[in-house]
Structure 1
Amino acid sequence: MNSAAFANTGSGFKDPEKLSFERDWIRRAVLASYWIVIILAFPFWWHLTSIERLALPTSQVRSQLQNNIVFPIAIHFDASISQQNPTLNSQVQTLLHDSAINEPGRWTGVDIRLQDRNDEVASSLYTVALGEQTSIAHSRNLRVNRTDAQSATRLSSILSDLIAPPESGTSHSQRVVQYSDHYRLAFTLLNEDATPNRFVATWDVQAALAEFIYPLMSQLSILHNFTVESQVQYHAPLAFEPRRVTLGDTEVSGLTQEDLTVFINSAEWTLASSVSNDPVLHFVLFVPSETHSPMNIVDSEGRPINQSSFLLPQWGSIFILNNELNSSSLHLSYNDLKPVFRNFATQLAALLGVPPVPFGLIMEGSFLSDWQLDALLRHRALQNVQGSQDTLHSIIKLVDQINNMPVGQVVRDDVLDALASLHEAYRTAVTSPALALRWSSKALSMASRAFFNPGMLALLYFPAEHKYAVYTPLFASISVPLVVALIREFMAWKRGSRDNGRR
């Protein structure tokens, strides 16, 4: 039925060709408007969804892997020693050189030379002089007795242990906390139960801190800043029941090695009294209840040992108080706390990686010698430099592997700052290990901040496939009708042009 016949019927319907919105030019204009909007919006969509990916200094980062921080060390033999054995200098130098070849990991970053005081500038200058006994003195002096002064082997062994202290296997690295420029020290007096005969309400913690902890903190202030807090808790139940073992004529509560690993009842003990992002080292004085007192640590065969404290790697130290308590005072005096805080000071030094004094040496004066502090400074600076290099290399490797990973200006600036700080660490290591540590710490901080930048981490959980999964359902439902309509209008236009040509 044609349009004329359709119009003459009494159906009341209009001819579709006479409807305004069914006219060809209107229909095509509407379709064109959709495509114009899409074409104009495409650049904005592309800009808003594109990933900022700035170039990183890849070549500089990779070249850093070949660089090593070097601390030149000069050792001067006093005339009193050189006169006894004129060839001692060369003999010790040869032995130290052989030790560096046999143990390269131990001597990494150390360039040691035996020379006169004014030969050249070194980051550390040490003096070896003759004395009545072999001991470490202030101002980087080593005094040796006449017997040790005549033995090049003994002298080289002492100098090796002082300048490049050996690490006692993997246990040392697992025990020492990761470097941070700020630590919180939390000292806690824990009462297992507030029973009348085994209960401590107060303690002279300030006097004990001033005697044993503050001097150590003062010497370590060149490496770390410390915040000290203390507290007393009156109910700290154990999460397990210690087994009873016989000690002489009495029974005691025994703690096995397995018990020590779960001694801290984190579910019920609140040891940290403040909220902070700084690492916390805990030092706990535990007062057993009357039921579990006395409490002793036992060996693998179940026999009690003469040890009242134990160290939890990278966490802190626990001292078990088995003293007889005066129920009338409920107080621990300064004299009662002396052995406790003397032990805490030793454990704090161990947790922070302070090298011990070599066997057979006597240390004069303060808690730590300059030899120990210098060795710790060099070791921590070397760790920071290696950590910075590894982190920067990981960033470059990650960006190369993930093509769509965003690299913003903040990440690029952090990487450049880390590289600049590493350069300063290399430069200042020649004159000052303390400055080298400061720059290496900044380099590690900048590299870590770049690696954990939120803009980079987001794509690790939302890869490019996720973007396609989001946009495909949206664009498919819009594009299919528009493409089909465009093809249909094109075919209609082509057919109309062909019909007009025949006329």
Structure 2
Amino acid sequence: MSSNATLRRCVVFLFAAVYLLVGVPLWYKLTTIYRAQLPMDYIKSLHENRFQDVHMTIPVYIKSNLYRFPDIHDAVQIQVNHLLNSKRQYVPWSLQILPYDEQLLSGEQKDAYHVVELDLDDFVGYYLPYDTKRTVVYFDDPSVVANDLPFFVAQTLIEHTFALEWDHLSHQGHQAAKRNGNSISINYSPNVHLSISLLNGDGTPVAWEISETLVKYFTPFREMLSPIVNFTVDTSIVFHNDLNLHTLSNSTDVTWQDLAHVIDLSELSSSVYYSEQNALNLAIVFPSAKLSPQGLPFINGTGGQETTAAGDNWDSFIVPQWGVLIVNKDPLEENTKLKESYLSPIMYKFAKDIFQLLGLADTVEDLSSLVITMDSFKRLTILQNMDNAVETLWSLLKLTESFEQMSIPLEVRNNVTEALDLRLAIVDDLNNPELGSDAVWDDLLLKSNRLVQLCESSFFHGEMVQQNFFPQEHKVAVYLPLLGPITVVIFIGLVANLKESNAKPEDQNKELTKNEEEEKRALQEAEGLHAVDGEDEIVESTE
């Protein structure tokens, strides 16, 4: 009996040990959600002060074409700092005024930096060329004698050359931008698709010289904007579609609000598939000769410079966050071919409107100095991308804190780490007063685009988007029918075995005495039956 009790005890303890040491850890491992550690404290600090480590510095070289001013850069620097400190800055930034460097600003680097040229003239004023980053400041002798030249140069730089930074990076400008926004422009994206369509209200065959026009007039425009945005273009001809403009055939006084309530862009917008995140459209619409035999009388402006082969007048309308709509007054005749002379003014108008649709300028007048505007747009976009990246990381952090059982894959942590390292690299270059060429700003723009991409990849990760998490109560509900009975059986068996092992010695002796008495009684019965030493004697009666 003792050996049986020992074996029973070993079996019970073996089952309990396997259950506790193997089963429970294995169940916990298989049901535990992997949550990679994210730099939560650092992300929270960035969210509280997103530009805490940023002080963007823009180098500006000053050059005098006639007089020698050995300390003009220091005097201008004092005035620039005074003007910048007069506004509370949302993003700290400054200008580093440096003396002209002939060796640096020569050859390919000639137009890569901002340069102020001081020219003696009969009046005091300034001029911003269209195609360079130069700022020409005109001064006269009285301004030099009165020592007004440094202040005038500083005022020109802050309020005109860097007017976008001056307006948008101040605390008031940033709050106004957040409150009002831009209802015309699309959200910035480094890749934008352009869809150019010719809409004929009838089904008569038409053709157009769009390929030649794009190569001649639009390709240089694409190359100029290539550091900021990359365009992909498709063209198409759509028949029997005048965007419902025939309903206005009898109207002579049509406002943009009337036009917006009539035109139907849904079919046109969904007809082209593109992989880019954003798209802009150019729709050239001709009314139907059947539905609008007299044309569209509310079109009374001449869009082009001259009467074209189509012989039509047209007006241009900007459709906010969509593109440009060119509405022609008269229908097209059968087998008409739209020449380059008709398309080129449209492409020129569309190119100017793209600046507003991309957010490069609020009005056409802002494009008086295109290169300087594009350069400022790069810097503002870099800072905006950094702002958006921190906001995305903060949203990711709030998401993981709200769902404690949500998986955080290792790839997400790697993307977040890479994004934060890339942000620090961008900050180092922004704060470096020696860096400020076109190549530097182009590189920083690419890095900031990559920064946004990494943050969005982390937030929109497959396991994060699907919210694949297994709440604790679900674990209990699923596994309790299986684990409950096993746990109860092992627990009861273990308790019973422990009770048997802890029984008192007197009870064991009593049990042993009872067993001995039963054995003795059985032996006596065996002797009465003549069974000795386990052998039975069978006695047969004989007669």
Q: Same fold (TM over 0.5)?
A: yes
Cα 1:241–1:109 shift into 2, 3 Å: farther
* TM-fit CA distance, 1:245: 5.9
Picking from 461, 466, 478, the partner of 1:453 is 461
Residue 282 (structure 1) aligns with: 281
SS of the residue corresponding to residue 443 of structure 1 reads: helix
Q: Which amino acid aligns with 2:465?
A: L
Residue 389 (structure 1) aligns with: 390
Residue 468 (structure 1) aligns with: 473
Residue 338 (structure 1) aligns with: 344
SS of the residue corresponding to residue 86 of structure 2 reads: helix
> Percent of aligned pairs with the same residue?
19
* TM-fit CA distance, 1:350: 1.6
Residue 67 (structure 1) aligns with: 53
* TM-fit CA distance, 1:221: 1.1
Q: Which amino acid aligns with 1:422?
A: R
Deviations 1:117-166 (A, max 9, x none): 2499998432234388834154422335569x968669725752332324
Picking from 322, 325, 331, the partner of 1:318 is 325
SS of the residue corresponding to residue 281 of structure 1 reads: strand
Deviations 1:441-488 (A, max 9, x none): 2222112211222233343x7462xx523x334433234444554566
Residue 56 (structure 1) aligns with: 38
* TM-fit CA distance, 1:204: 1.5
Aligned pairs for 1:62-211 (under 5 A) are 62=44, 64=46, 65=50, 66-68=52-54, 70-80=56-66, 90=75, 94=79, 97-98=82-83, 101-102=86-87, 104-105=89-90, 108=91, 110-118=93-101, 124-130=113-119, 134-136=127-129, 138-144=131-137, 156=155, 159-165=158-164, 166=167, 173-191=182-200, 193-194=201-202, 201-211=206-216
Deviations 1:298-340 (A, max 9, x none): 9xxxxxxx98222233322222122x45514422111111221
Contact kept, 8 Å, 1:70 with 1:110, in 2: the verdict is: yes
Q: Distance in 1 between matches of 2:15 and 2:45?
A: 54
Q: Which moved further from structure 2: 376-385 or 123-132? A: 123-132
Q: Distance in 2 between matches of 1:243 and 1:448?
A: 45
CA RMSD across the alignment:
4.4
Q: Which amino acid aligns with 1:104?
A: Q
What residue ranges of structure 2 are gaps of 5+ in the alignment?
A: 106-111, 144-148, 169-175, 301-312, 512-543
Residue 442 (structure 2) aligns with: 434
Contact kept, 8 Å, 1:187 with 1:230, in 2: the verdict is: yes
Contact kept, 8 Å, 1:308 with 1:319, in 2: the verdict is: yes
* TM-fit CA distance, 1:186: 1.3
Q: Distance in 2 between matches of 1:444 and 1:143?
A: 37
Residue 518 (structure 2) aligns with: none
Q: Distance in 1 between matches of 2:67 and 2:240?
A: 61
Q: May I ask how many residue pairs the two structures share in their alignment?
A: 450
Aligned pairs for 1:373-388 (under 5 A) are 373-388=374-389
Name the TM-score, length of structure 1 as normaliser: 0.73
SS of the residue corresponding to residue 175 of structure 1 reads: coil
Q: Which moved further from structure 2: 221-230 or 119-128? A: 119-128
Cα 1:358–1:157 shift into 2, 3 Å: farther
Name the TM-score, length of structure 2 as normaliser: 0.68
Cα 1:285–1:34 shift into 2, 3 Å: farther
Q: Distance in 2 between matches of 1:332 and 1:128?
A: 47
Q: Distance in 2 between matches of 1:30 and 1:54?
A: 41
Contact kept, 8 Å, 2:119 with 2:139, in 1: the verdict is: yes
Deviations 1:30-69 (A, max 9, x none): 9989767754333222222222223223444455532225
Q: Distance in 2 between matches of 1:212 and 1:44?
A: 68
What residue ranges of structure 1 are gaps of 5+ in the alignment?
A: 1-22, 299-305
Contact kept, 8 Å, 2:246 with 2:287, in 1: the verdict is: no
Q: Which moved further from structure 2: 124-133 or 410-419? A: 124-133
Q: Distance in 2 between matches of 1:238 and 1:358?
A: 27
Q: Distance in 2 between matches of 1:155 and 1:487?
A: 85
Q: Distance in 1 between matches of 2:481 and 2:465?
A: 32
Q: Which moved further from structure 2: 403-412 or 128-137? A: 128-137
* TM-fit CA distance, 1:201: 1.9
Cα 1:501–1:134 shift into 2, 3 Å: same
Q: Distance in 1 between matches of 2:138 and 2:18?
A: 93
Residue 241 (structure 2) aligns with: 236
* TM-fit CA distance, 1:360: 9.8
Q: Distance in 1 between matches of 2:366 and 2:411?
A: 53
* TM-fit CA distance, 1:491: 7.4
* TM-fit CA distance, 1:234: 0.9
Contact kept, 8 Å, 2:249 with 2:296, in 1: the verdict is: no
Q: Distance in 1 between matches of 2:368 and 2:189?
A: 30
Picking from 225, 229, 233, the partner of 1:224 is 229
Q: Distance in 2 between matches of 1:295 and 1:487?
A: 92
Cα 1:159–1:257 shift into 2, 3 Å: same
Q: Distance in 1 between matches of 2:367 and 2:188?
A: 28
Q: Which amino acid aligns with 1:74?
A: V
Q: Which amino acid aligns with 2:389?
A: S
Q: Distance in 1 between matches of 2:41 and 2:478?
A: 42
Cα 1:374–1:231 shift into 2, 3 Å: same
Q: Distance in 1 between matches of 2:394 and 2:62?
A: 40
Q: Which amino acid aligns with 2:64?
A: D
* TM-fit CA distance, 1:70: 0.9
Cα 1:33–1:442 shift into 2, 3 Å: same
Q: Distance in 2 between matches of 1:488 and 1:336?
A: 94
Contact kept, 8 Å, 1:75 with 1:126, in 2: the verdict is: yes
Contact kept, 8 Å, 1:71 with 1:378, in 2: the verdict is: no
